[in-house]
Structure formats: C-alpha cells, structure tokens
Amino acid sequence: MSLITEDTIRELASFDGGGVPVTSCYLDVDGRRFPRHQDVEHELSGLLRPARTRANGTPSVHHDLQRIETYVRAGFDRSRTRGLAIFACSAHDLWRVVPLPVPVRSRVVINDVPAVGQLESVVQEYDRFGVLLADKQRARMFVFELGELIDRSELFDELPRDYDHRGEKERGDHAGHVEALTLHHLRRAADVAFRVHQQHRFECLCLGGPDEIVSSLEAVLHPYLRDRLCGRIAVHPRAPVSEVREAALEVEARQERAKEAALVARLRDAVGAGHRGVAGLDRVLAALAERRVDRLLVSDGYAAPGWRCRPCATLATVGRRCKVCRGEMEEIDDVVEESIDEAMAQSCRVEVCVGNADLDVLGQVGALLRY
Ligand SMILES: [Zn+2]
C-alpha cells in the first residue's frame, strides 16, 4: 500500500471538473466494525441510495457511483485496509482509489472539486511513531506512519552463553559483567533509536520488553527521545511485525482519545466562562460564518440536516433566508459534515472525538474560538 502524501492531496485538490461534479466517496471498511464483506456492501448501499438522488440525473455522477459500487462489490484486500477514499469524475477520466490503513467516516460528497478534507485530517492525525523493543541481547526498532511500517532496524549483541544462564546465579562476580554487557547493549539500542529518529523524525516512541530491561533502556535514551515516550507495549521483543503494529496503533488511539478529552475539557471551561468557546450546532455554525473558529470539535457520527446559502455558502440550522447575505438557502442532508469541510477550508483544526460523553452533553459539537 503506498502512503498518501501531501502532494497526492494537493494534486487531487487541484482537479477541476470544468463544471462537471466530482464524486468523492469515503468508506469505512474496518474489519473490526464490519467483519464480513456483506457488512461493507451494506454500509456502501446506505451511502449510495441518497447519493443517487442527489446526483439528480447527472450522467457522469451516476457513472461514478456505479463504478464505485462495482469496485467495492468485487471485493478487495482488507487485511491492511480500514478505510477507502475514492475520487471519480467519469466525464474527465478521473478515478482514484486511496486505500487507507486507518478508518474513515463513511460519506459521499458530490461537489465541484474533490472533497479531500478527510484525507487531509487522516494525514494530520496519524503521527509517525517509533517502537523500540529490547531484551538482554536483542533490540528491534520500527517506524510506522499511518499504521504502515516504513523502517526497521535490528540489533543483536550476543551474551556469552555461560554468563547468560549460569553466570548470574552461580558466579556472582560474573553477574556484574553480564549487567555491564546488557547495559552496553541497551546503550547501543538507544543509539540506533536516535539514529533512526534523525532520519525519520517520529513524534512518539513506545518501548516494549521485559520490565527491568525497559526501565534501564528508558534511562539511557537520548533526552530528546525520552520526551517523546508515549507508553509501553506488552509485546515480546521477538513478536511478528503485525503484532507490534497492532499494539502501537492501540497506543496511538489511546493517546488520541486523551488528546480529545483534554480539548473537550478546554471547550467545556471556555463555554462555562462564556469566553472563546461555543457549543451546539447553531452557535458553532454562526461562529464559522464569522470565521472565528480556531478548532472544531465534533462527536464521531454526529449528523444533522440544515441549510446552505446558494450565493455565499453560509451554513445554518434554519433556512431559508441567509442571515449574512439575505440570499436563498438550500436544504442539505448533513450540515455537520459540511461544517467540517468549511472549517478545513478556513484552515481550522478539526477534531473528531470518539466516545466522548462530555462533548455529547455539550450538543455533540463545539468550537474553540480565536477571539
Ligand atoms: Zn448568504
């Protein structure tokens, strides 16, 4: 699976259908949520039905939707793919499938340009991270990006056999020697990690291995790497890469949830103080229209119908006259999703919060404001 890059996104974003709408489809195909292929097909059907209505007879869009359906129904390898992003514009031969190793929010957007907002946020959300596993003689360093392995290094410093087994128990003088050798090995492992970091610049580092080894390893890490520590993983130093990857993704998800919780707490305080924070769809849309939003926080899966102004694109929960330009508004199925796109277009940061009850209480959406 080739990784998406900012260049891929920019290239897509610059596509111009010359008046023909572009179809963008994001499909959650996460095997943990949709174990069977027919579950995925069911998810897709739920998206395509309203999309066909919205296509409103435009031949290119109908063809796009048909092609998407054929592609998904034919089946594809889901062992490492948890999300799909598909961009199509049949009239101009645009057909781009981006398999993602992380889940996405299912949706179909039909618009003048490809809806790259979610791709962009995926790239933002998934930091590059390192995993360093060690025991007394082995060290393995991995770097993952978007859940995909991009680099690995291995190090093996063999301990003399005698010392390894009998030495510690029976020959006390040699125990000290083993300890010294182990420490030397861990220092080398820490050096490898630092070298890899210089090359790949990962945001966080998890350690794994026997407790006492990991503690010693932590102590000899470069301070720069110690600042990037984000927890330990219970993975055997000789575990297969797939297992390392799973454990690392879990740590990353846990970190992400913690980050979201901190932001929601900030939002709650701001809203409570009536300063630089608003909650609830109405207020958030108003703040977006005034371009005051710094960060948008949305509960995962939250959707609500609303209105969009035809002349000035302002979003609102109530139509049909635009409060900004007095223009006529049109009804849209999901104003929440549109607000995310709008926030991205305004270069706001968007945080989709998973399972955060505090945000749900605040109305499932809120915004930290710039002023
Ligand atoms: Zn307007």
* Tokens matching residue 322: 């635009």
pLDDT at 219: 95
- Report the DSSP pairing between strands 293-299 and 349-353: parallel
Q: What is the pLDDT along the chain (371 residues), one digit of tens a residue?
A: 566 777 788 788 788 888 899 999 999 999 888 999 999 999 999 999 989 998 888 999 999 999 999 999 999 888 888 999 999 999 999 999 999 988 888 989 888 778 887 887 787 667 788 999 999 999 999 999 887 888 999 998 887 765 555 545 555 567 788 888 999 999 999 999 999 999 999 989 999 999 999 999 999 999 999 999 998 999 999 999 989 988 988 888 888 889 999 999 999 999 999 999 999 999 999 999 999 999 999 998 788 999 999 888 899 999 899 999 999 998 887 899 889 878 877 888 888 888 899 999 999 999 999 99
Q: How far is the CA of 289 from the centre of ligand 1 (A)?
A: 10
Q: Where are the domains of the chain?
A: 6-125, 129-239, 256-369
Q: Give the global pTM.
A: 0.74
Residue recorded with tokens 């998973």: 354
Length of the chain: 371
Taking phi over 0 as left and psi of -120 to 50 as alpha, with beta for the rest, 288 belongs to alpha
Q: Which of 103, 143, 149 is nearest to 122 (CA)?
A: 103
CA distance 278 to 285: 10
> 338 CA to middle of ligand 1, Å?
15
C-alpha distances out from residue 98 to 46, 82, 84, 88, 357, Å: 21, 11, 6, 11, 32
* Ligand 1 centroid from CA 312, angstroms: 4
Identify the architecture of domain 256-369 in CATH: 2-Layer Sandwich (3.30)
Same fold, 6-125 and 256-369: no
Q: What is the pLDDT of residue 172?
A: 59
CA of 294 to the centre of ligand 1 (A): 22
pLDDT of residue 161: 65
pLDDT, tens digit (0-9, with 9 covering 90-100), for 212-244: 999 999 999 999 999 999 989 999 999 999 899
What's the CA-to-centroid distance between 120 and ligand 1, angstroms? 27
* Centre of ligand 1 from the C-alpha of residue 29, in Å: 37
Largest Cα separation within the chain, whole Å, is 89
DSSP secondary structure code for residue 342 in this structure: H
Q: How would you label 342-361 residue by residue, b for 16+ Cβ within 10 Å and e otherwise?
A: bbbeeebebbbbeebeebee
Give residue 243's pLDDT: 93
The rounded Å distance from CA 369 to ligand 1 centre is 22
Contacts for 117-120 with beta carbons within 8 Å, 24 or more apart? Answer: 117/340, 117/341, 117/344, 117/345, 117/350, 118/26, 118/85, 119/4, 119/8, 119/9, 119/12, 119/85, 120/9, 120/344
Strand partners, 279: 366
Question: Contact 28/12 with Cβ under 8 angstroms?
Answer: no
- Give the dihedral of Cα atoms 106, 111, 114, 119; nearest 10 deg: -30
Alpha carbon of 346 to ligand 1 centroid (Å) = 17
- How many angstroms separate the alpha carbon of residue 327 from the centre of ligand 1? 5
The Cα–Cα gap between 124 and 126 comes to 6
Which tokens go with 27?
């499909």
CA of 185 to the centre of ligand 1 (A): 66
Q: CA-CA distances (angstroms) from residue 191 to 149, 183, 215, 257, 341?
A: 20, 12, 16, 31, 43
- Take residue 47 and report the two structure tokens written for it: 């998206």
pLDDT at residue 35, rounded to an integer: 92
Q: Please give the CATH architecture assigned to the domain spanning 6-125.
A: 2-Layer Sandwich (3.30)
The CATH architecture that domain 129-239 belongs to is 2-Layer Sandwich (3.30)
C-alpha 25 to ligand 1 mean position (Å): 27
How far apart, in whole angstroms, are the C-alpha atoms of residue 254 and residue 252? Answer: 5
What is each CA distance from 289 to 58, 59, 170, 234, 364, in whole angstroms? 30, 33, 76, 47, 19
